[in-house]
Chain A
Amino acid sequence: MKLLPSIGFSDFSGSAGNVTARKSGAKTYLSTRTKHSRKKTKYQAATRCRFADTVRGYAKISEDQRRGWISLARGTGTNMTGHNLYVAINTYRKICGKPQCADAPASLKPSDYINMNDDFDMWLSPERVFITGVIPSENPADALLIEMYAAQSAGEANAWNKTVIVAVLQETDWGDVDLTQAFLKKFITPLTIGQMVYMKLCWIDAECGYVKRFTRFYMEARETSLYNRVPFMPRARVTTEQLTPETQDAGCTNFDYELSPVLKITSNSISAMHNKGSLGCRFYHNGLPSAFDFDRTYQYSRGTGEKMKYMIQCTEVLIQNSKYTKTITLTCKAGYFTDHFETFGTYFVTS
Chain B
Amino acid sequence: MITLTMNNFGCGSITLKDYQSAAICVLNGKITVDPTNPGYMAATRLELDLPADFAMPKSAMSTAILVSNVPIDRYGTVLHCWIENNRLCIEKITEWDSFGNYEIHINSAFVTRGYHGDDFLKVSYSLTILNTDNLFRFSDYRYVETNDYVYFTAFFTDFPRYSKNGQGPFTLQLSGFAPDVSGEIPLVVHGNVIDSSKKGSRLTVGFFENGNLTFSYPEGAGNMGGQSSFFNFFAVRN
Interface residues, chain A, with chain B CB atoms under 8 Å away: 119, 132, 136, 140, 173-176, 232-237, 258-265, 267-269, 289-291, 298-302, 307-312, 314, 333-336, 344-351
**B201 and A259 form a contact (CB under 8 A):** no
**A346 and B110 form a contact (CB under 8 A):** yes
- Of B8-16, B164-172, B189-197, B205-213, which stretch is located at the interface? B189-197
Contacts of A175 in B (CB 8 A): 114
Alpha-carbon distance between A105 and B122 when the two chains are bound, in angstroms: 54
Contacts of B194 in A (CB 8 A): 308, 311, 336
The reply to whether the CB of B129 lies closer than 8 angstroms to some CB of chain A is no
**A345 and B201 form a contact (CB under 8 A):** no
| B64 and chain A: residue at smallest CB distance | A345
| B153 and chain A: residue at smallest CB distance | A298
**A174 and B113 form a contact (CB under 8 A):** yes
Contacts of A311 in B (CB 8 A): 77, 190, 194, 199-201
Classify chain B's interface size: 35 or more
Contacts of B116 in A (CB 8 A): 119, 132, 232-236
**A265, A300, A309: which contacts B232 (Cβ < 8 A)?**
A300
- Of B32-40, B41-49, B137-145, B177-185, which stretch is located at the interface? B137-145
**B142 and A348 form a contact (CB under 8 A):** yes
Contacts of A347 in B (CB 8 A): 109, 151, 153, 232
Q: Helix, strand, loop or mixed for chain A's interface?
A: strand
Alpha-carbon distance between A272 and B157 when the two chains are bound, in angstroms: 26
Alpha-carbon distance between A136 and B120 when the two chains are bound, in angstroms: 26
Alpha-carbon distance between A311 and B192 when the two chains are bound, in angstroms: 12
**A174 and B188 form a contact (CB under 8 A):** no
**A262 and B188 form a contact (CB under 8 A):** no
**B115 and A334 form a contact (CB under 8 A):** no
**B111 and A119 form a contact (CB under 8 A):** no
**B93 and A267 form a contact (CB under 8 A):** no
Known: A298-B155, A310-B77. A262 touches B230 (CB 8 A): no
Alpha-carbon distance between A310 and B80 when the two chains are bound, in angstroms: 12
Q: How far is the CB of B5 from chain A (nearest CB, A)?
A: 22
**B110 and A349 form a contact (CB under 8 A):** no
Contacts of A265 in B (CB 8 A): 24, 109, 111
24 contacts between A and B (CB under 8 A): A175-B114, A235-B114, A258-B115, A260-B112, A260-B113, A261-B120, A262-B119, A264-B120, A267-B62, A290-B118, A298-B232, A310-B77, A312-B188, A312-B200, A314-B155, A314-B188, A333-B230, A334-B155, A335-B201, A344-B61, A346-B109, A347-B109, A347-B232, A348-B124
Alpha-carbon distance between A258 and B117 when the two chains are bound, in angstroms: 11
Contacts of B123 in A (CB 8 A): 263, 350
| B119 and chain A: residue at smallest CB distance | A261
**B60 and A346 form a contact (CB under 8 A):** yes
Alpha-carbon distance between A261 and B109 when the two chains are bound, in angstroms: 13
**A346 and B115 form a contact (CB under 8 A):** no
**A233 and B118 form a contact (CB under 8 A):** yes
**B120 and A262 form a contact (CB under 8 A):** yes
**B232 and A132 form a contact (CB under 8 A):** no
Q: Which 3 pairs from chain A and chain B are nearest by CB?
A: A174-B114, A267-B60, A334-B155
Known: A310-B77, A351-B124. A298 touches B140 (CB 8 A): yes
B218-233 residues at the A interface, CB under 8 angstroms: 228-230, 232
Alpha-carbon distance between A312 and B140 when the two chains are bound, in angstroms: 18
Q: How far is the CB of B185 from chain A (nearest CB, A)?
A: 13
Contacts of B76 in A (CB 8 A): 310, 312
B145-177 residues at the A interface, CB under 8 angstroms: 146, 151, 153, 155-156
Contacts of A173 in B (CB 8 A): 114
The reply to whether the CB of B128 lies closer than 8 angstroms to some CB of chain A is no
Alpha-carbon distance between A268 and B60 when the two chains are bound, in angstroms: 8
**B121 and A262 form a contact (CB under 8 A):** yes
Known: A300-B63, A346-B62. A258 touches B78 (CB 8 A): no
Q: How far is the CB of B73 from chain A (nearest CB, A)?
A: 12
**A232, A237, A291, A310: which contacts B201 (Cβ < 8 A)?**
A310
Known: A234-B116, A345-B108. A263 touches B200 (CB 8 A): no
Contacts of A233 in B (CB 8 A): 116-118
Alpha-carbon distance between A339 and B115 when the two chains are bound, in angstroms: 33
Interface contacts beyond A260-B112, A311-B201: sample of 19 additional A-B pairs, CB < 8 Å, sorted by A: A235-B116, A236-B116, A260-B113, A263-B120, A263-B121, A267-B61, A267-B111, A300-B63, A308-B194, A310-B77, A312-B200, A314-B153, A314-B232, A333-B140, A334-B188, A334-B228, A344-B78, A350-B122, A351-B124
| A236 and chain B: residue at smallest CB distance | B115
Q: How far is the CB of B46 from chain A (nearest CB, A)?
A: 17
Alpha-carbon distance between A350 and B60 when the two chains are bound, in angstroms: 19
B123-141 residues at the A interface, CB under 8 angstroms: 123-124, 139-140
Known: A311-B190, A351-B122. A345 touches B117 (CB 8 A): no
Contacts of B124 in A (CB 8 A): 348, 350-351
Q: How far is the CB of B155 from chain A (nearest CB, A)?
A: 4
**B188 and A263 form a contact (CB under 8 A):** no
**A132 and B114 form a contact (CB under 8 A):** yes
Contacts of B2 in A (CB 8 A): none
Contacts of A119 in B (CB 8 A): 114, 116
**A174, A289, A346, A351: which contacts B108 (Cβ < 8 A)?**
A346
Known: A267-B61, A302-B78, A312-B190. A334 touches B229 (CB 8 A): yes
